[in-house]
Amino acid sequence: MAPKKNLRVLSGIQPSGTLHLGNYFGMMSRMIQYQRENELFCFIANYHALTALPDKDTLAQNTFYAACDFLALGMDPEQSTFWVQSDVPQVTELTWVLSSMTSVGLMDRATSYKDKISQGITANMGLFSYPILMAADILCFDTQVVPVGHDQKQHLEITRDIAVRFNHTYGKTLVIPEPDIEKTTQLLPGIDGQKMSKSYHNTIPIFAHEKVIRKQVMSIVTDATPIDQPKNKDTPLFHLYSLFLDETEQKELAQRYDGSGLRYGDIKLELFDRIMDHFSPFREKRDQLTANKKQVHDILHFGAEKANKVAESVLDRVRSATGIGYF
């Protein structure tokens, strides 16, 4: 469900290198739709990426490509505000202020930190206080609605806790944001049936080489139901294909699954074609952008200036509420 009209909607995405269907359907396509009727703020979270990516060239490149991805998919830098997180330093200033009123206990309960550590990522303070930086991202812009994937639900709850605590301590200063979590994002499976996520190596990338996309699609797990028997619809292949179908087409697909004679291999090839068709206009736009670094840089610079103005006015309120503004 789209938010009500004329609200300030904000979201960010980590520059992870390869954009996949999970990112696209979880957050990006919704954001891009919202920009028609809402005031959209959107940024590339490179400081968040820094917590787990100590490689200079990769971080810089991923940031650039993430910007190209968004712009190619329809982010309108005139109508919306689109920037790179580190270009608006008020966010890190706010992070410190918020850190000073966030209990260690609240951070201890954050599950994504534990998940990352269990995946072998080095425990560092940036990773530990990741949710506070994310709260600052949101609160720094008087955000009303935050569209995110299901995995970010707890971070939104933490953001709200911090904002409520701030307002309770210093008087009403910060806007309390509402999460906007699309139901379908809970379900978006990767090719192995687990949640689609880069860390599980089960993604279908959007702008990768055709061969890579085909290989991933052909590797989607299926079962050994004989060809003349009905097939189970609660399966990754069915769910992934449905993303690209309208209601009538979804019904037709369901009928084919319920009947006999369906071959998974055929369905996979159809899905592959759909993916390629769906993203082909975006792919062309993206090729133009990646070949034109200066244009992308100018767009990001323009966005950072717009974001900066809003952040500065919020920080003014925060500085005077807390006594950091001492005159």
Q: Site residues (CB under 6 A) for ligand TRP?
A: 11-14, 45, 48, 134, 137-138, 146, 148, 152
Q: How far is the CB of 73 from ligand TRP (least distance, A)?
A: 16
Catalytic member of 4, 114, 183, 198? 198
What are the two backbone dihedrals, phi and then psi, of residue 189, each rounded to the nearest 5 degrees? -90, 155
Give the separation between CA 106 and CA 280, rounded to whole angstroms.
44
What are the two backbone dihedrals, phi and then psi, of residue 42, each rounded to the nearest 5 degrees? -145, 135
Nearer to ligand TRP, 153 or 233 (CB): 153
Nearer to ligand TRP, 141 or 272 (CB): 141
172 is catalytic: no
Give the separation between CA 261 and CA 321, rounded to whole angstroms.
68
Q: How far is the CB of 72 from ligand TRP (least distance, A)?
A: 19
293 is catalytic: no
In contact, 7 and 39? CB cutoff 8 Å: yes
Give the separation between CA 271 and CA 167, rounded to whole angstroms.
49
In contact, 227 and 260? CB cutoff 8 Å: yes
Q: How far is the CB of 100 from ligand TRP (least distance, A)?
A: 20
Nearer to ligand TRP, 196 or 220 (CB): 196
Strands (DSSP E) along the chain, which ranges?
8-13, 39-44, 81-84, 145-148, 178-181
Nearer to ligand TRP, 122 or 229 (CB): 122
Q: How far is the CB of 212 from ligand TRP (least distance, A)?
A: 23
* Residue 66 parent element (H or E): helix 56-73
Q: How far is the CB of 265 from ligand TRP (least distance, A)?
A: 34
Q: Cβ neighbours of residue 166 under 8 Å, at least 6 residues apart?
A: 98, 101, 139, 173, 174
251 is catalytic: no
Nearer to ligand TRP, 45 or 217 (CB): 45
Q: Which residue is nearest to ligand TRP (CB)?
A: 12
Catalytic member of 114, 116, 251, 293? 116
> Which active-site residues does the annotation give?
116, 195, 198
